[in-house]
C-alpha cells in the first residue's frame, strides 16, 4: 500500500511567542492581581494531559495517508473536560494547548461544571471527500477514545467540524460501548440527541452581551454600525441577529477578504452566497476590503470572529471601533489589549462573549443524560439567563476593582477553578 505522511506534530518555536505562552501570561497577570499563591498559579498554568496520535486513513483512491491529531485537557477540577474539535491545515499542538486553557476559564466564568479541553486534526476538510472525512473522524475517535466520554471529556464542533462529524464520533463511541452514548459529544444533530438552539448559540450569546455592554456605555443600538471579521458559523449568525436588532452591518469578511458598504449590507444575501459555496469577494454590491482594513474601520461595534491572534499592538493603534466583542478565541494579543485599554475601547472578552456555545452544549449534555429534551424557546431563554447573569457579575467586578472586563472575567474564572482545586486537594 502507498502511505503518505500528512501533518506531523508541529514543534514549538521558542523564538516567537506561542499561543500557550500568551495564555500562560494572561494567567500569570491575573494571579498577580489576585494575590494567588504561587503554588496554585504554577499548577493552573500547566496542562493536565495531552494526547498526540498519528493514524492511517484509507483514501478513496486506495492509498493511505497518515494524519496527526491531538486532544488536550487543561483542568478538570470543576467537572469533565469540555471543548471543541478543530479540523484545519494549520492547527498546532500549541494552539490546542492554549485553547484548552481558555475553555477552562470560559466554563468557569459562566459557572458551568466543566473543565477545559480542545482537540484538532491537521487536515484540510474541504480537500477530503465525505467518505474520507468520515473514515478519518472514526479512526481519530478510536485513537482518542481512551480519554473521552460523557463523564471524562466531551468534544464539540469547532473550525472545520459540525453536526455530521459529531454524529460520527458519537456513533463510533457507541459502537465501542455496545449501546448509544448520546452524551459523549455535543453539537450533534437533533435526531440523535442534539439540542434545539445549539447551532446559533455562540452568536446569540454574543449578541446578548454586546447589547448589554452597549447599554452600559450609553450606545444606542438603533442604527449602530457593525463590522464582523469571519463570516462563518459564529460571525454569520451574529451579523444576522445584530441586523435584526436594528443595527447596520457595514462590513464582513472571510478568508477571501471582505466587503464594505457605508449604507449597510444585505446580510441575508451574503449568507445565501456563502451557503451556495461562494466567497464574499464575489459579492458585487459593495466595495472590497482586506481583513486589516475591516478591523480598522470607524464603526460602533467590531466583532472579530475568525482565528486567534488577529489584532496586534501595531494594528490596535489604528483601530477606531468603540466596542469590541470577541467572537473568536484570543483574537487580541496582550500588547493590543493594553493599547485598546489606553484608548478607552470597550472589549467584551472572549471567555464571556462567545460562551453561548458551551452554555448550550452544557444544556445538550444535561438533556442527553436525562433523556428529556427542551423546546427551542426554553433553550434560548435559559441561554439568555446565564449570559445576562454572567455579564452582570463580570461588569460588577470590573467596576468594583476599576479594571477591564477581561481582567474581571479572568479573576472570576481563576478564582472558581482555584477554589475547586483547593477543596479537592491532591491525591494521594
Residues 6+ apart with CB under 8 A from 54: 8, 9, 66, 67, 68
Residues 6+ apart with CB under 8 A from 426: none
Active site includes 188?
no
**Among the options 82, 118, 248, 274, which is catalytic?**
118
What is the Cα gyration radius of the chain? 21
Do 222 and 260 meet the contact criterion of CB atoms below 8 Å apart? no
- Number of Cα atoms under 13 Å in the Cβ half of residue 137: 29
**The C-alpha cell that represents 181 in the structure block:** 452514548
Residues belonging to the active site: 118
Amino acid at each position: 500500500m502507498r502511505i503518505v505522511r500528512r501533518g506531523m506534530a508541529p514543534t514549538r518555536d521558542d523564538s516567537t511567542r506561542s499561543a500557550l505562552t500568551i495564555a500562560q501570561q494572561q494567567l500569570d497577570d491575573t494571579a498577580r492581581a489576585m494575590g494567588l499563591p504561587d503554588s496554585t498559579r504554577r499548577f493552573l498554568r500547566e496542562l493536565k494531559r495531552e494526547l498526540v496520535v498519528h493514524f492511517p486513513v484509507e483514501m478513496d483512491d486506495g492509498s493511505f495517508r497518515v494524519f496527526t491529531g491531538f486532544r488536550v485537557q487543561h483542568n478538570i477540577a470543576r467537572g469533565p473536560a469540555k471543548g471543541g474539535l478543530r479540523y484545519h491545515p494549520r492547527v498546532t499542538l500549541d494552539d490546542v494547548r492554549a485553547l484548552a486553557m481558555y475553555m477552562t476559564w470560559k466554563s468557569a466564568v459562566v459557572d458551568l461544571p466543566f473543565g477545559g479541553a480542545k482537540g484538532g486534526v491537521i487536515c484540510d476538510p474541504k480537500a477530503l471527500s465525505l467518505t474520507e472525512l468520515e473514515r478519518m473522524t472514526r479512526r481519530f475517535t478510536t485513537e482518542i477514545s481512551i480519554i473521552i466520554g460523557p463523564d471524562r471529556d466531551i468534544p464539540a464542533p469547532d473550525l472545520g467540524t459540525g453536526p455530521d462529524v459529531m454524529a460520527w464520533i458519537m456513533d463510533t463511541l457507541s459502537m465501542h460501548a455496545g449501546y448509544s452514548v448520546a452524551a459523549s459529544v455535543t453539537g450533534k444533530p437533533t435526531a440523535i440527541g442534539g439540542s434545539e438552539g445549539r447551532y446559533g448559540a455562540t452568536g446569540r450569546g454574543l449578541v446578548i452581551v454586546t447589547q448589554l455592554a452597549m447599554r452600559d456605555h450609553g450606545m444606542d443600538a438603533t442604527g449602530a454600525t457593525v463590522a464582523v471579521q469571519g463570516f462563518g458559523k459564529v460571525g454569520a449568525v451574529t451579523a444576522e441577529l445584530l441586523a435584526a436588532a436594528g443595527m447596520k452591518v457595514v462590513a464582513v469578511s472571510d478568508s477571501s477578504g471582505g466587503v464594505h458598504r457605508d449604507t449597510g449590507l444585505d446580510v441575508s444575501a451574503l449568507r445565501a452566497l456563502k451557503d451556495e459555496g461562494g466567497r464574499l469577494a464575489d459579492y458585487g454590491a459593495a466595495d472590497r476590503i482586506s481583513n486589516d482594513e475591516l478591523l480598522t474601520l470607524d464603526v460602533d461595534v467590531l466583532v472579530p470572529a475568525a482565528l486567534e491572534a488577529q489584532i496586534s499592538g501595531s494594528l490596535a493603534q489604528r483601530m477606531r471601533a468603540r466596542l469590541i466583542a470577541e467572537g473568536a478565541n484570543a483574537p487580541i494579543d496582550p500588547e493590543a489589549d493594553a493599547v485598546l485599554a489606553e484608548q478607552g475601547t470597550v472589549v467584551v472578552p472572549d471567555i464571556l462573549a462567545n460562551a453561548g456555545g458551551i452554555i448550550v452544549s452544557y444544556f445538550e449534555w444535561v438533556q442527553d443524560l436525562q433523556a428529556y429534551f427542551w423546546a427551542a424557546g426554553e433553550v434560548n431563554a435559559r441561554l439568555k439567563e446565564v449570559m445576562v447573569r454572567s455579564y452582570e457579575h463580570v461588569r460588577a467586578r470590573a467596576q468594583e476593582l476599576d479594571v477591564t472586563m477581561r481582567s474581571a472575567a479572568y479573576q472570576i474564572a481563576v478564582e472558581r477553578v482555584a477554589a475547586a482545586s483547593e477543596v479537592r486537594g491532591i491525591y494521594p
